[in-house]
Amino acid sequence: MKNIWLAALVALLSLGACKENPEEYEMTAGERAHIDTLYMKETLVLRPKLDSLCVQRTDSLVRTALDSILKVRRDEEIALRKRIREQGRQGGVIQ
């Protein structure tokens, strides 16, 4: 019984916790300029690191894609050779 009252109290309190239309904060021009300046400084610092990570990732993605393409082609070649051998055994004509 105590748990039911506790659950009801929590549910009642949680209903009042959320506002339907929270107030929006309007930044001043000075605040926007300050944030823009901070962003530009951090971008300049991070750019070399991000570029090097991009190059490393690109090399890895290209290698993975190439391996995948080669595997598909090898599987196709194996299937084709198997089909040719089976048709040769049956004395059939290769189409």
Q: What is the pLDDT of residues 77-93, one digit of tens each?
A: 999 999 999 988 887 55
Q: Which tokens belong to 25?
A: 């904060």
Q: Which residue has the tokens 């300029």?
A: 33
pLDDT at 1: 66
82: left (phi over 0), alpha (psi -120 to 50) or beta: alpha
SS3 category, 91? coil
User: Percent of the chain beyond pLDDT 70?
Assistant: 82
Q: Where are the domains of the chain?
A: 43-95
Q: Across the chain, what does the average pLDDT equal?
A: 84
Reported as type and span, the H/E element at residue 28 is none
Q: How far is CA 14 from CA 6, 21, 47, 75, in A?
A: 12, 16, 44, 59
Q: Which residue has the tokens 């951090």?
A: 42
**94 with 84: CB under 8 angstroms?**
yes
